[in-house]
Amino acid sequence: MGGRGMGGAGDIGSHAAQFFGGLFGNSEAPYEDAMKQYQEWAAKGEGAQNPFLDFGKQGLPKFQQWLSGMQDPTKFINNLMGGYQESPYAKYQQEQGMRTAQNVGSASGLTGSTPLMQFAQQNAQNISSKDMNQWLQNVLGVNTQYGQGLENQIGVGQNAANALTNMYGDMGRQMGEAAYGREAGKNQDRANMWGGLFNLGGDAAMMFA
């Protein structure tokens, strides 16, 4: 009987520990701490990526406007040419060409002749056409670089969006696992509490049997 009583006391102590461990236990605490850590580091990650995301967003309406401006090629070129101004160097060449033609006319006695005037005018037109074409090529090159710059800007935002998407995906999995662990901890505490209580009830029944 004494041995049985000691063993019964040991069982009661073990079962009481099980009951109070379940009642006052906090098995979900590590998972809650982990979830807080996930959220804090996610906020830091967002803070690092959001400036690049915002930068990319700012490029989207500009890129759309840039594309829409070239939907009608004829209108686009005409708009560009509306800003053309003859370069000082082209004017200088034309003046030099006219002066040369006049000098040649004076020396040869052909001043004011139709062929000479036609040659001088054609030369001036060629200079003007070359200058205009060069200006247009430069402007189109700048326009192309502008479009590429907008694409790069959007690319920066896209990379940031991808990084955030991956981060959110990883965080979602980690938070899901932590939430599952937290609920499992709560269930374990409840199981210990009720199991301990049930065992204590059995111990009490054996003591008074």
For residue 197, give both structure tokens: 């209580």
Of all residues in the chain, the percent with pLDDT exceeding 70 is: 58
For residue 73, give both structure tokens: 């090629």
105 close to 112: Cβ distance less than 8 angstroms = yes
Statement: residue 18 has pLDDT above 60 = no
> How large is the average pLDDT for residues 139-166?
94
Higher-scoring residue by pLDDT: 51, 41: 51
Quick one: pLDDT at residue 107? 59
For residue 18, give both structure tokens: 């099980």
> How large is the average pLDDT for residues 5-24?
46
- What residue type is 84 in one-letter code? Y
Higher-scoring residue by pLDDT: 47, 142: 142
Q: Where are the alpha helices (DSSP H) in the chain?
A: 2-24, 29-68, 73-81, 88-108, 114-207
Quick one: pLDDT at residue 74? 92
Nearest C-alpha neighbor of 54 from the set 163, 156, 185: 156
Q: In angstroms, rounded to a whole number, what is the distance separating the alpha carbons of residues 191 and 21?
A: 10
Length in residues, the chain: 209
Q: In angstroms, rounded to a whole number, what is the distance separating the alpha carbons of residues 63 and 71?
A: 13
Quick one: pLDDT at residue 9? 45
> How large is the average pLDDT for residues 155-172?
87
Quick one: pLDDT at residue 24? 46
Which residue has 């505490």 as its token pair? 189
pLDDT-based confidence at residue 152 (cuts at 50, 70, 90): very high
Q: In angstroms, rounded to a whole number, what is the distance separating the alpha carbons of residues 184 and 179?
A: 8
Statement: residue 31 has pLDDT above 70 = no
Statement: residue 73 has pLDDT above 70 = yes
Quick one: pLDDT at residue 22? 42
Mean pLDDT of the chain: 74
Statement: residue 95 has pLDDT above 50 = yes
Statement: residue 186 has pLDDT above 80 = no
